[in-house]
């Protein structure tokens, strides 16, 4: 047996019923999504209700283990992941069991800042401006299937990473927070032919400069 999926008039999955008798669901409003997994709905599931209703006086070890698992799952009953949406449909606040993450987007819907629950709570209570990641992009507009790589990735933990694509949208150059440059060379068909890595010291001198990968194609 397989899962059974239910859709709303907009063809969004709103309920998934498993073969065992559990289910997950999604509730939509214009500005919010509530995602309930199988633990969030466990008390309402047919398996849970039927299992407890027919639980024997002298259960087997398997039945005791099953009941123990169900009781642990009920701790998470009715604790959906709540996504608050902006006017473009992007989730800028995500509340997962009381922990809230924050996301900021540009006018094209590209992520430009993210803050995890720990730092977001500190910002609210202490008035700080902590963040986990910030991103900056060029002028090229990508698609959902082929998103644009950010030119700058600013990580609180990892530092600043610089990146550049070529005119065809393929990754061309990258400088890591540790001052290592990586350059990717392509042929006329935009196939990789060489990867070169260069290490740069803090004083600007070159520490290492090597071709680390080459690619040879059958017709070349």
Domains of the chain by residue range: 1-80
3-state secondary structure of 30: coil
**pLDDT for 176:** 94
What values do phi and psi take at 179, rounded to 5?
A: 65, 40
Do residues 113 and 135 make contact, with C-beta atoms less than 8 angstroms apart?
A: yes
**pLDDT for 145:** 78
**pLDDT for 220:** 54
The pair of structure tokens assigned to 179 is: 């001052």
What does the alpha-carbon distance between residue 180 and residue 5 come to, in Å, rounded to a whole number?
Answer: 48
Strands 13-17 and 192-200: unpaired
C-alpha distances (whole Å) from 169 to each of 60, 85, 142, 154 are: 61, 29, 9, 21
Residue ranges, the chain, pLDDT below 50 = none
Q: What is the pLDDT of residues 155-186, one digit of tens each?
A: 999 999 999 999 888 899 999 999 999 999 99
**pLDDT for 202:** 84
Do residues 192 and 184 make contact, with C-beta atoms less than 8 angstroms apart?
A: yes
Q: What is the pLDDT of residues 89-119, one digit of tens each?
A: 999 999 999 999 999 999 988 999 999 999 9
Question: Is the pTM of the predicted complex or chain greater than 0.95?
Answer: no
Strands (E), the chain: 4-7, 13-17, 23-29, 32-36, 81-85, 91-96, 99-105, 111-115, 133-136, 152-155, 159-165, 171-175, 180-186, 192-200, 206-214
């Amino acid at each position: 047996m397989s899962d059974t999926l239910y859709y709303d008039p907009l063809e969004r999955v709103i309920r998934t019923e498993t073969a065992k008798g559990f289910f997950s669901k999604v509730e939509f409003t214009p500005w919010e999504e509530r995602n309930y997994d199988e633990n969030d709905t466990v008390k309402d599931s047919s398996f849970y209700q039927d299992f407890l209703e027919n639980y024997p006086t002298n259960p087997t070890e398997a039945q005791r283990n099953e009941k123990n698992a169900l009781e642990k799952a009920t701790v998470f009953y009715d604790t959906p992941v709540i996504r608050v949406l902006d006017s473009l449909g992007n989730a800028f606040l995500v509340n997962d069991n009381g922990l809230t993450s924050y996301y900021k987007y540009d006018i094209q819907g590209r992520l430009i800042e993210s803050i995890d629950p720990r730092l977001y709570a500190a910002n609210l209570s202490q008035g700080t401006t902590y963040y986990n990641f910030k991103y900056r992009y060029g002028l090229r507009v990508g698609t959902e299937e082929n998103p644009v790589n950010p030119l700058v990735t600013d990580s609180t933990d990892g530092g600043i990473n610089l990146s550049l694509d070529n005119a065809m949208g393929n990754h061309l150059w990258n400088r890591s927070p540790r001052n290592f440059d990586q350059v990717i060379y392509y042929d006329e068909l935009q196939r990789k032919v060489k990867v070169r890595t260069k290490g740069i010291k803090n004083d600007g001198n070159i520490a290492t400069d090597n071709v680390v990968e080459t690619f040879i194609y059958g017709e070349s």
